[in-house]
Structures are given as structure tokens and as C-alpha cells.
A and B are shown apart, each in its own frame.
Chain A
């Protein structure tokens, strides 16, 4: 069974950089897109971006100037860096898998991590 586990600091200061890692177990990260999604408390879901195991990325234009994603296939890990943090970045951050092949050619997010809460505060 595929499992995703996000990890990172729960508290980050304003203007600093957030670094999160998603570790995938129970399956290979190869041939999938891996997405990051966030959710402020009591609000909806916002897609941050995705990375393919080749390193190709797509970022949300609203965050593109501050986001970097990377992949380490040897460790089965995906990473997210978000710079210049403000209180508006306080949220639960999820990683999720996006398959591309049959029967999932419509590219849903089929596996999600449990999420890691991040608070931006001094």
C-alpha cells in the first residue's frame, strides 16, 4: 500500500523559507507526478504545484515566484521550498500522487499524505 508522509518544521518566522519533505513508501515515485496542496484552517484547497520524477515542474502562477520543488528518486522523496513567508502561508500542507496511466488518464490525486501543519509567526 502506497503511503505518503510529509515532514518539516511546524513553526516558521515571517520572511523565512519553508522546507517540507514528502517521503513515499510502499511504491516507487517513478513515472508519477507529485503535487503539493495546502489548506488554511477552515478554508478550501489550494494547489501549489507538481513535479515529475524527471524534474519537470508546473507551479501555480500565484506562488511561482516563491516556490521550488525537487525530487530525490534514491530516497523516494519530494521536496517543497517556499520563500518569503507571511502569515497568509499558514496552512496544512499535503503532498499527493497524480498518476498518468490507465485507468487514471484523467489524472486524479489518488494518494494523499496526512498533511503537516505549518504556522508562520514570529
Chain B
């Protein structure tokens, strides 16, 4: 199985801060990497696919980068509705695997 490791596990930030979350794969996954946002009691929501493509309807303050084993999700200016948990997921091979999640909390 491909292991996905996110860092940090949690972070505290303020509105308008720039936030960066990293995700590392245990082997190369090319660009088969997605990012999801999950709020309490809700299903995950797709933000970024193919490592850097913005899903339709997702604000442009979200961006993704990386290829191979190292990936980054950036929120350029954190908004109140962005406090949530973020997961990366690889779709290079089965079983699909997720990072452990990064909880973005209000400072």
C-alpha cells in the first residue's frame, strides 16, 4: 500500500493568513493526488484533483502543487469558512489511501 503522510496534523491560523499543508507519498504517484475539505458532520468535498487542478466551484484562494512524492495545498488568504480538516488522497493505485488529515483551527 502507498502511505500518505500529511503535516502538520493540526495548525492554528487567523483569517487572512496564508496556510500551507504538505502531503508526502511513500512512493511516486505522479500527479494522482487529490485534496478534500471536511467540516464536522459533513462528507468530504473535493477541492483539488490531479495535484493542481481546481475543482469547479472551489474558490481560487485554494491551490495545489507538486508531483511524484511531495505535494502542497495552499490557502492564500484563509476565510472563516475554511476552518476544517483537510485530507490528501492518492489514486495512483489500489487500495486508495488518505493522509491522516490536517485540522485548521482558529488562533
CB within 8 Å of B: which residues of A?
35, 44-47, 49-50, 58-62, 94, 98, 103-110, 112-115
Could you tell me how many residues of chain B have their Cβ less than 8 Å away from some Cβ of chain A?
27
Bound-complex Cα distance A89 to B5 (A):
23
Q: Tally A-B pairs: CB < 8 A.
A: 69
Whether A47 lies near B96 (C-beta < 8 A) is: yes
Closest residue of chain A to B49 (Cβ to Cβ) is A108
Closest residue of chain B to A46 (Cβ to Cβ) is B98
Say yes or no: A58-B94 contact (C-beta < 8 A), given A108-B34, A112-B45.
Answer: yes
What are 12 residue pairs bridging A and B, where the CB atoms are less than 8 Å apart in the complex? A44-B87, A44-B99, A47-B98, A50-B94, A59-B95, A62-B95, A103-B50, A106-B31, A106-B50, A106-B53, A108-B55, A109-B34
Bound-complex Cα distance A71 to B94 (A):
19
Say yes or no: A110-B49 contact (C-beta < 8 A), given A58-B94, A61-B95.
Answer: yes
Contacts of B22-74 to chain A: CB distance below 8 A: 31-34, 36, 42-46, 49-51, 53, 55
Closest residue of chain B to A114 (Cβ to Cβ) is B43
Whether A106 lies near B96 (C-beta < 8 A) is: no
Closest residue of chain A to B36 (Cβ to Cβ) is A109
Say yes or no: A47-B95 contact (C-beta < 8 A), given A109-B89, A114-B43.
Answer: yes
Which B residues are in CB contact (< 8 Å) with A35?
96
Which B residues are in CB contact (< 8 Å) with A60?
94-95
Say yes or no: A58-B95 contact (C-beta < 8 A), given A112-B44, A115-B43.
Answer: yes
Which A residues are in CB contact (< 8 Å) with B87?
44-45
Bound-complex Cα distance A35 to B36 (A):
15
Bound-complex Cα distance A104 to B1 (A):
22
Whether B34 lies near A106 (C-beta < 8 A) is: yes
